Amino acid sequence: MGRRLRRGALAAVLVVLAAAVVVALVERRGPEAKPLPGTPLRELASQAGLRIGTAVDDTALQREPGYREVLAQQFSSVTAENVMKWGALAAERGRYDFTAADRLVDFALGRGMRVRGHALVWWNQLPTWVRDGEWTRRTLRQEVRQHVRTTLEHFGERVPVWDAVNEPLDDRGRLRDDLLGRVLGDGWVEDVLRTARTYAPEAQLVLNETAADGLNAKSDGMYRLVRGLLARGVPLDGVGFQLHTNLDGVPAGFRRNLERFAALGLDVEVTEADVALRTPASERAERAQARVYAQAVRDCRAVPRCRGFTVWGFTDRHSWIPGTQPGFGEATLLDAELRAKPAFRAVQRALR
């Protein structure tokens, strides 16, 4: 009797365990793609003469069929959220691992999407051996050049546009006081751009910046930097505006800011848009969020040289906001179940 009872208990435990494994596997595969309303964003964007892009999370790309389906159906451009950063490509000195980055490039090219390279040189997410290394100007410059070369030669024409330098400035609009600036001196931005042009003569080279979206001290600094670079004949094709925002809205002077860079003869684009909400968000907040997204798209469309609009993730299931801004989230166009939020329809309308 005791033995039978024990067997019964064991069987029950096994059933529960098996069920838990099934639930975990289903969860791992993410939500199914449901039909989204209206015309796909990429079609609307193409009619409007621009690319609509998104950051892509590598884990989701690998595991979640619904994520892949919506990604390919709605977007015409992708940016690697993490896997093309220096620290991700060369965690160990002298050894590159392009597996994850190539996975994204293959996916994108197979579905007629363009890849934005992100980012060749950035103060953040550097390999630890770079960040903690002991460098002289000569040795660090050598490593930076070598990295730019290795990366560009690897991807070649498959990645036609690069955030060559990401976030060079501090809040006051001066070159950041970080490892790169301190060791290499102010000329480092120019050196990266020239090196990039050497190894990718056809690629579009972009300076990408955060919190320089509106007219402010930082974007003024960016403007001075860019004008100086162009005056010296440094290769530069575009400026990227990240546009991470919240219900404060599109920063004041955003459109005029895009216009002044475009007037220098450069392309401009929105590279990382998201609109963070306090969580859990009310319907009212979602509607306000929709208006912010729509405004941003309309401002980009109003500037002929604004060639692309990229969001930093397209589903609340995969967004960097909750992890970096506790209390905030729900910052993207689709909810965690891949259903359209008001912001999705608002972007569709703004693209029409």
| Cβ atoms of residues 147 and 120 within 8 Å | yes
**Shortest approach of ligand XIL to residue 10 CB, angstroms?**
42
| Cβ atoms of residues 247 and 283 within 8 Å | no
Token pair recorded at residue 350: 């703004």
Nearer to ligand XIL, 195 or 242 (CB): 242
Nearer to ligand XIL, 68 or 116 (CB): 116
Q: How many residues bind ligand XIL, per CB under 6 A? A: 7
**Shortest approach of ligand XIL to residue 231 CB, angstroms?**
26
Distance (Å, whole) CA 174 – CA 188: 13
Among 166, 245, 310, 332, binds ligand XIL (CB under 6 A): 166
Nearer to ligand XIL, 261 or 312 (CB): 312
How many C-alpha atoms does 249 have within 13 Å on its Cβ side? Answer: 11
Among 46, 82, 295, 325, binds ligand XIL (CB under 6 A): 82
**Shortest approach of ligand XIL to residue 242 CB, angstroms?**
6
Enumerate residues 237-296 that contact ligand XIL by CB under 6 A.
Answer: 242, 272
The length of the chain is 352
Which positions from 29 to 68 touch ligand XIL by CB under 6 A, shown as an x/- string? ----------------------------------------
Backbone angles phi, psi at 204, to 5 degrees: -85, 125
| DSSP secondary structure letter of residue 169 | B
Which residues touch 128 (CB under 8 Å, ≥6 apart)?
A: 87, 91
Which of 147, 144, 139, 84 lies closest to 117, judged by CA? Answer: 84
Which positions from 168 to 207 touch ligand XIL by CB under 6 A, shown as an x/- string? ----------------------------------------
Could you give the angle at the alpha carbon of 133 between the alpha carbons of 132 and 136, nearest 5°?
Answer: 135
**Shortest approach of ligand XIL to residue 336 CB, angstroms?**
16
**Shortest approach of ligand XIL to residue 57 CB, angstroms?**
8
Q: 64, 269, 272, 330: which one is catalytic?
A: 272
| Cβ atoms of residues 320 and 56 within 8 Å | no
Q: 64, 167, 190, 269: which one is catalytic?
A: 167
Bridge partner residues of 53 (DSSP): 77, 310
Active-site annotation holds for 167:
yes
The torsion of the CA quartet 16, 20, 22, 28, rounded to 10 degrees, works out to: 180
**Residue 320 in contact with ligand XIL, rule: CB under 6 A:** yes
Binding site for ligand XIL (CB under 6 A): 81-82, 166, 210, 242, 272, 320
| Catalytic site positions | 167, 272
